[in-house]
């Protein structure tokens, strides 16, 4: 079972995504405080981070860059999401492994997760 760190500060969206992921066989840790993502990754083994670009008080790309520059977690696959035009390039530029545009349906979300985990090999030593 793949373990996912879901970084989502929107209460309702966090619950919806968490439930969908668990229903599809993923073990999920829902993190409401984005700035704690690197610490959570350092303290646990995760196969994937899912994170929005727009988070309370911080741009998700800053967290993504911090993860990429932190020894021990720098190769963790990251799937970023956003509904803003041009966000894909910004997120990938910050180090995201993959990107999904919002709004999305569950099927495409799950496919993006599978693709991102599969892409993880290019980040492994």
pLDDT tens digits for range 85-97? 999 999 999 999 9
Which whole-number Å values give the CA distances from 70 to 30, 41, 42, 47, 74, in the listed order?
21, 10, 9, 16, 5
Grade residue 17 by pLDDT with cuts at 50, 70 and 90: very high
Q: What's the pLDDT score for residue 121?
A: 66
- Residue 122 is predicted with a pLDDT of 53
> Which contacts of 18-26 are long-range, i.e. CB under 8 A and separated by 24 or more positions?
20/106, 20/109, 20/110, 21/113, 24/110, 25/1, 26/1, 26/2, 26/113
Is the predicted pLDDT of residue 26 greater than 90, yes or no? yes
123 pLDDT higher than 70: no
Is the pLDDT score of 69 beyond 80?
A: yes
Judge contact between 125 and 82, C-beta under 8 A. no
User: Pairing between strand 58-59 and 54-55?
Assistant: antiparallel
Q: State the chain's mean pLDDT as an integer.
A: 93
Q: Which residues contact 9 (CB under 8 A, 6 or more apart)?
A: 32, 33, 34, 52, 55, 56
Per CATH, which fold does 3-123 belong to? Answer: Rossmann fold (3.40.50)
pLDDT bucket at 57, cuts 50 / 70 / 90: confident
Task: Give the pLDDT confidence score for residue 125 in this predicted structure.
Answer: 37
The ranges assigned to domains in the chain are 3-123
Which residues, including other chains, have CB under 8 Å from residue 84's CB and lie 6 or more apart? 53, 54
Q: According to the model, what pLDDT value does residue 56 have?
A: 84
Q: Which of the two residues, 119 and 76, has the higher pLDDT score?
A: 76
Residue 98 CA to residue 44 CA, distance in Å, equals: 22
Alpha helices in 30-105 (DSSP H): 37-43, 60-68, 87-93
């Amino acid at each position: 079972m793949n373990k996912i760190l879901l970084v989502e500060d929107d209460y309702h969206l966090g619950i919806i995504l968490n439930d969908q992921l668990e229903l599809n066989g993923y073990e999920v840790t829902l993190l409401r405080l984005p700035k704690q993502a690197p610490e959570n990754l350092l303290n646990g083994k995760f196969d994937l981070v899912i994170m929005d670009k727009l988070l309370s008080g911080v741009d998700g790309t800053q967290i993504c860059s911090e993860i990429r520059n932190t020894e021990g977690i720098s190769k963790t696959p990251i799937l970023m999401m956003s509904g803003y035009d041009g966000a894909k390039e910004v997120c990938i530029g910050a180090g995201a492994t993959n990107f999904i545009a919002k709004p999305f349906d569950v099927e495409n979300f799950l496919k993006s997760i599978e693709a991102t985990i599969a892409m993880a090999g290019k980040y492994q030593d």
